[in-house]
Amino acid sequence: MSADAPSAAVVLPANASQYVPITPVRMARTWVENSTPGFGFEAVSTNITKVKMRNSTYFDVPDDAVAVVLNVTVKLAVGIGSVAVYASDAAQPTGWNVYADKVGRTIANLAHVQVGADGYVKVYRTVPTMNVALDIVGYYKSVGAAVSGGRLITLDGGGSRSLDTRTTSTPFTAGTTRVIDVGRKTDGTSNGLPVTAKAVVVTVTAIYGASGYWTAFPNNLGSVPGVSSVNLDSPNQVRAGQAIVPLDGSTTNIKVYSSSGGHLAIDVIGYFTGDGATAETHGLFVPKSTPFRILKTSSLQSLPPWANSTFEVMVDSSKVSGAPTGIGAVAVSLTASDPWANGYLTAYAAGQTRPGTSNLNIDSLFQSRTVTAISPVSTRGLAVYTISGSHVNVDLMGWYLGTPTAAPNPKPTNPTYTPTVAKSVTSNRFIGGSGYTRITNPTTPVVVATANSGVNSLIGIADSGKAGVAKG
């Protein structure tokens, strides 16, 4: 859904809306901080609370806001579980916005959530005592016709990388803020982001930093807002999160703060138009009252898909009730679980060349991670690629009106491995190696058994890990 794509000739559906960015602010949290108790949540039941979203007095969210964009954070999870945020008058969704896959996990994720008729959203926690915070970064305002500002435009090719401190050997130091020009690719050329855009959609990936958080925020904001975009809860993790950051109207700069330092990558996915753009309907957002699961690979096969697998799914009325004929992009929640190895997921328009960017990162075995992604779609729908292999869920939160791109490339053929002899076993917990010392959770899973030339070789004893067969 590039800037020069024509608008689809459609009658605007109910809740069609334009995006309005605001300065990020915390709307609710459950825990005590600096002797200040939690605030913003109202109890509904043991596992469900609600938060008022339409609140022009404190948060600049008007009564005609049909959906909000929230950063949902779980802090120091007291148990393994998930958090789902949804419209107060909608059914509880099957999926979730944040999943804590271990005790002590601190993790955040963006969510596009329809607001109930009473102005509230509900928050469901599988663990009732899970500490949760909601930070609002913007809202979608109802419109009845073509508008200039607040429409999504995705970059040609599905996205481009603007920063990778690994390639420049310039990691952030703890407690520092940098100004990043997200209108440029890493080679210095323009990616097409105009200075007139209201806000930019970026994927922020923190790489091998210390425990702490990263915040992407507007260039014209003097101080770091009290919110986070990505959280790391232990050293040497790789975590990604999508953020929508307001622009200042004169540059394509944003600021990024790191509390603890480390490497950072920023991928630009698209932007929301400014008020001086031509009035159009493409790029208007239509939220789903309850997120709808459009892909679940565990329903297709019991074993997780192999490395270098790609799954395509249509996003139209044949798959989703109420979907219009003209959809140019989607807001989805991606979940990777039961991975074969460290790796990443990339969402992109099916049939297009896969961009050299990522949406979700896995940095250890037995992980389950969820990340929100805005992605263009094609006439064949949405594609999700897993480089290392894992189960994949895709939950649809809403779509953006427009013309889907063409799908010139054939559907990728996924690997199908059918050997009868195991080639290797890998583990991240084993006894063996030099001196027979116990090695627990190394950065890279270790091969503890191999089968070469018909001779078996055991170099350790695995007590936790992955056993698999490899083609060859």
Q: Does position 25 have pLDDT exceeding 80, yes or no? A: yes
The pair phi, psi for residue 103, each rounded to 5°, is -65, 140
Query: How does residue 424 score in pLDDT terms, banded at 50, 70 and 90?
Result: low
Average pLDDT over residues 440-465: 48
101-139 burial code (b ≥16 CB/10 A, e <16):
beeebbbbbbbbbbbbeebbbbbbbebeebbbbbbbbbb
Average pLDDT over residues 279-308: 92
Q: For residue range 130-158, what is the model confidence (pLDDT) as tens digits?
A: 999 999 999 999 999 999 999 999 998 88
Q: For residue range 203-224, what is the model confidence (pLDDT) as tens digits?
A: 999 999 899 999 999 999 999 9
Average pLDDT over residues 382-389: 96
Mean per-residue pLDDT of the chain: 87
Token pair of 345 as six digits = 């997921």
Average pLDDT over residues 34-45: 87
Residue 465: the pLDDT is 53
The pair phi, psi for residue 167, each rounded to 5°, is -75, -25
Residue with tokens 């959906």: 67
Q: How many angstroms separate the CA atoms of 306 and 254, rounded?
A: 38
Q: Does position 461 have pLDDT exceeding 60, yes or no? A: no
Q: Does position 395 have pLDDT exceeding 70, yes or no? A: yes
Q: Does position 416 have pLDDT exceeding 50, yes or no? A: yes
Q: Does position 376 have pLDDT exceeding 50, yes or no? A: yes
> In this structure, is the dihedral angle defined by the CA atoms of residues 232, 372, 300 and 99, taken in order, positive or negative?
positive
Q: For residue range 57-70, what is the model confidence (pLDDT) as tens digits?
A: 667 788 899 999 99
Residue 366: the pLDDT is 84
- Opening angle at CA 301, ends 297 and 305, nearest 5: 65
Residue 457: the pLDDT is 47
Q: Where are the alpha helices (DSSP H) in 342-454?
A: none
**Candidate ranges 205-214, 432-441, 461-470; pick with highest mean pLDDT:** 205-214
Q: For residue range 168-208, what is the model confidence (pLDDT) as tens digits?
A: 999 999 999 999 999 999 999 999 999 999 999 999 999 99
Q: Which regions of 299-452 does DSSP assign to beta strands (E)?
A: 309-313, 327-337, 343-349, 360-362, 368-376, 382-386, 391-401, 424-432, 437-440, 446-452
pTM metric for this prediction: 0.86
Q: For residue range 252-266, what is the model confidence (pLDDT) as tens digits?
A: 999 999 999 999 999
Q: Does position 455 have pLDDT exceeding 70, yes or no? A: no
Residue 60: the pLDDT is 76
Residue 325: the pLDDT is 79
CB 106 within 8 A of CB 206: no
CB 221 within 8 A of CB 208: no
Residue 413: the pLDDT is 92
CA 323 to chain CA centroid, nearest Å: 22
Average pLDDT over residues 105-125: 95
The more confident residue out of 198 and 442 is 198
The more confident residue out of 302 and 103 is 103
SS3 content of the chain, % helix, strand, coil (to 5): 5, 50, 45
Residue 55: the pLDDT is 77
Token pair of 134 as six digits = 């909601």
Q: Does position 232 have pLDDT exceeding 50, yes or no? A: yes
Q: Does position 87 have pLDDT exceeding 50, yes or no? A: yes
Q: For residue range 303-346, what is the model confidence (pLDDT) as tens digits?
A: 899 999 999 999 988 788 778 778 999 999 999 999 999 999 99
